[in-house]
Amino acid sequence: MNSDDRVRAERPSTSVDHSIRVLSRRDVAALMKSWEYVEPVAAAFRCLADESVDLPLPMHIAADGGSFHVKGCFVDFDQPFVAVKLNANYPGNGKLGLPTIQGVVLLCGGESGTVRAFLDSMELTARRAAAASALAARNLARNDANVIAICGCGVQGQAHLEVLAHTLHPSRVVAWDVDKTRAISFARQMADKLGLEVAAVPDIADAAGAGDVIVTATRSSPLPHTHRPAAWSIRGCNWRRQSGQE
């Protein structure tokens, strides 16, 4: 094979390159505001309710130190699509300076199977989960709910507070995390970003007792009994759980 043949062999197909979009996490974040996900998520739930979605059971793959989850569906909005999401969940990644959850979404045309895009799943996972919680809070929380409690101050906690602040317009936010330093940093960052009163609290029961809407955006299984909602005395609140299994 001469040099010209090698160049032609290694050069990707122009038509394929132009038809497949690759979106990084930054690209996905720039497409829509966090609260703009709420109505599309509501539309997806309506499709699920009227059985116009093909939603197979997720697949779980065990791995050393973590696991993988594969989820997919067919949905027909203005045109049919098939999406498949592969997420890795490695709880110990924080010690390595890596995200707990990372992965990719493959988007295909539902009519021909043509691959349309590869999208980083981290931002989509966080914003979709937060939008679903905001949708639930909008429909189920008390009309006078004005205090949000965030239990878990990571990516999910931030995503949830951003969309819930826009949806519920709270007067105050309380934040708790197993890492007290992270809770304090979260409170300062989100107060500056949202223009809200955000206070870090030392105990999860303090957060639960203050919140009208409670988000547990953390892995629940390692928590001791006193840190679980069943052990709290909570009345008249809306509780949204994110387990870290997205």
- The answer to whether 120 and 28 have CB atoms below 8 angstroms apart is yes
Does any domain span residue 181?
A: yes
Give the model confidence (pLDDT) of 48-100 as tens digits: 898 889 999 999 999 999 999 999 999 987 889 999 999 999 989 988 988 88
- Count how many domains the chain has: 2
Instruction: Kindly write down the DSSP assignment for every residue of 28-59, as one continuous string.
Output: HHHHS-GGGGHHHHHHHHHHHHTT-EE-PPPE
Does residue 202 sit in the same domain as residue 232?
A: yes
Q: How many angstroms separate the CA atoms of 9 and 216, rounded?
A: 52
Does any domain span residue 49?
A: yes
Q: What does the DSSP 8-state code read for residue 74?
A: E
Nearest Cα residue to 147 out of 210, 200, 240: 210
CATH code, domain with 199: 3.40.50.720
Does residue 166 sit in the same domain as residue 96?
A: no
CATH code, domain with 79: 3.30.1780.10
Give residue 71's domain range: 3-124
* 177: its two tokens: 């995390």
Q: How many angstroms separate the CA atoms of 134 and 111, rounded?
A: 32
Q: With a cut of 50, say whether residue 246 has pLDDT above it.
A: no
Q: Residue 43 half-sphere exposure, CB side, CA atoms within 13 Å?
A: 9
Q: How many angstroms separate the CA atoms of 239 and 108, rounded?
A: 35
Nearest Cα residue to 218 out of 200, 244, 239, 238: 244
Final residue of a domain: which of 92, 124, 156? 124
pTM summary value? 0.78
Nearest Cα residue to 58 out of 46, 48, 45, 72: 72
Does residue 175 sit in the same domain as residue 237?
A: yes
Final residue of a domain: which of 56, 90, 124? 124
Give the per-residue pLDDT at 78.
Answer: 81
Does any domain span residue 138?
A: no
Give the per-residue pLDDT at 148.
Answer: 95
Does residue 19 sit in the same domain as residue 120?
A: yes
Give the per-residue pLDDT at 115.
Answer: 95
Does residue 14 sit in the same domain as residue 116?
A: yes
Does residue 118 sit in the same domain as residue 204?
A: no
Does any domain span residue 132?
A: no
Does residue 160 sit in the same domain as residue 220?
A: yes
